Amino acid sequence: MRAIIFFVVSLLTFEASSQDSVLVQVTILSKTEQETVQNVIATIKIGGTTLYKSTNMKGQFSFIARQGSSLEFKLSHAQFASSTEIKRMAKNASDTVAYTFEMEFLKTKELNEIVVAAPGVAVRVYKSNRLHVADFELQNDGNILLLTYPKRLQKGSELIIFDGTKDLVNFQVPDKANELIRDFRGNPHVVCNEMVYGIHYDGSTVGISQVPKNYYTTYIAPIVDTNQSIMYFSNFNPDYPAFDYYKFDQIDSSYQKIMQIEDELMMELYRSEYKWVDVRTKLWAKQMEIDTGIDAEIYVGANYFTQSLYYKEVYAPLFQRNDSLFLFDYYKDKLFTFDKLGTVIDSVEIYHHYNPKSTGWEKKLIQDRSTGQIYAIFERSGFTFLGLIDTKTGEIKEQVKLKHRYVDKVAVRDNSVYYIYREFESTQKRMLWKEGLPYKFRNAKTPSGDPIEASSN
């Protein structure tokens, strides 16, 4: 009998609690355009409780509160004026309450003044009367690996190890070469049509190792770096608008997701492609879903939407400097800082990717392999600008303008910038050039390999 009474009382208490709960749905609109705003950060105070929410692709978020609650909303966004809204729900409010707030668009974002600093004198590092420079890699030992060709890269190429004054080694590439890359250990590789060739130089002899291109892309390229026993990597796929960063501890073989990256707008368009394809394609995608368990929408998006002009690969590179990791999530407008264990210790807003048509943002970041400093690449009127990123504030306080126009393959080491350039309107060969940057940063611990970027390599 007591058990029955306890059950009835518990049931009544649960029903009363359920009746007291209200689903609050919030929509954020632009005041001038009356369009929904995504990525709005909302701090919600409900009595002594604080919630943190952000708007989704539809400019909405939701949460649970009790009838009669006093709600205070603090809304912030990089492109809109911050605002505070206070609401008081009725004591007899229905089970769902909807609020719509408007935010004022900022026509201009007030940033610190950008100063274009004068770089050092441009000098030729490598010059040849016979060979063009197609690509280069700055080695940890101070040497430079050059990928060169006499007439056309696909018709024959040569690799040169150059110490800054003379050629140490010169040998033929065993296949049709495309570019140079490096793995997480810092070893350079030549990417060819079918194979990837590792180059090993010990100061006197050169060794070449052969790796299938698919194997390199799947198992080696995704690794960012190793920190003692910890390995950082991603599952980036150029045909999918989202990916994850992971940490792998080699001691206990444990995995941990560091952060998920997703372009929500691109993902919505990616999946909606399924609605417009023909019936035969839908049947094929559904059969693939049955066979593999992967959504039919993903198969259609990967095979059709990625071929359209609207698809853009996800770009969110991860860099390491000393014991800190820096992740640029351009889809949340955030620069996240992690410790070596993959724990978020700070985040700041970033704006330098806004208005790319006027700023010349090239959707590319590079790191000085010696000092660990990170630079954003801009291009305006054919000139290349390097913007030094302050990782504590996320700001670019100044940009350095390179002397020459239409340069290729920009890289930085020891506070100097290297690039490939052929003098304008001349018959000169493509040469390797160098300019000093107006900085004196000290050396820092950096990863040996390339950062993970939106690249199919």
pLDDT at residue 211, as a whole number: 83
Cα distance between residue 448 and residue 140, in whole Å:
8
State yes or no: pLDDT of 274 exceeds 60: yes
Please check the confidence at residue 44 and state whether its pLDDT lies above 80.
yes
Cβ burial, residue 71 (10 Å; 0-12/13-18/19+): buried
- Residue 415's SS3 state is coil
Instruction: Enumerate residues 6+ apart whose C-beta is below 8 A from 437.
Output: 119, 120, 386, 400, 412, 415, 416, 417
Return the pLDDT at 225: 61
Section 334-351 average pLDDT? 90
pLDDT at 350: 92
- For residue range 298-310, list pLDDT tens digits in order: 999 999 999 988 8
User: Is the model's pLDDT at 358 over the cut of 90?
Assistant: no
Contact criterion met (CB below 8 Å) for 208 and 197: yes
Q: Which of 437, 139, 186, 445 is nearest to 319 (CA)?
A: 445
User: Which pLDDT band, with edges at 50, 70 and 90, does 109 fall under?
Assistant: very low
Percentage of the chain beyond pLDDT 90 is 33
Number of other residues whose CB lies within 10 A of the CB of residue 287: 12
Is residue 11 very low, low, confident or very high in pLDDT (cuts 50, 70, 90)?
very low
- Alpha carbon distance 125, 146 (integer Å): 11
- Give residue 453's pLDDT: 47
Confidence of residue 449 (pLDDT cuts 50, 70, 90): low
Q: Is the pLDDT reported for residue 412 higher than 60? A: yes
* Percentage of residues in the chain having pLDDT higher than 70: 89
**Res 196 pLDDT > 70:** yes
Nearest Cα neighbor of 145 from 155, 158, 129, 130 is: 158
The per-residue pLDDT for 22 is: 87
Q: In angstroms, rounded to a whole number, what is the distance separating the alpha carbons of residues 185 and 224? A: 9
- Most confident among 14-18, 63-67, 168-172, 271-275 (mean pLDDT): 271-275
pLDDT on residue 245: 92
Predicted confidence (pLDDT) at residue 7 exceeds the cutoff of 60: no
- pLDDT for 18 beyond 60: no
pLDDT at 441 over 50: yes
Domains of the chain by range and CATH?
A: 2-103 (2.60.40.10), 115-263+312-436 (2.120.10)
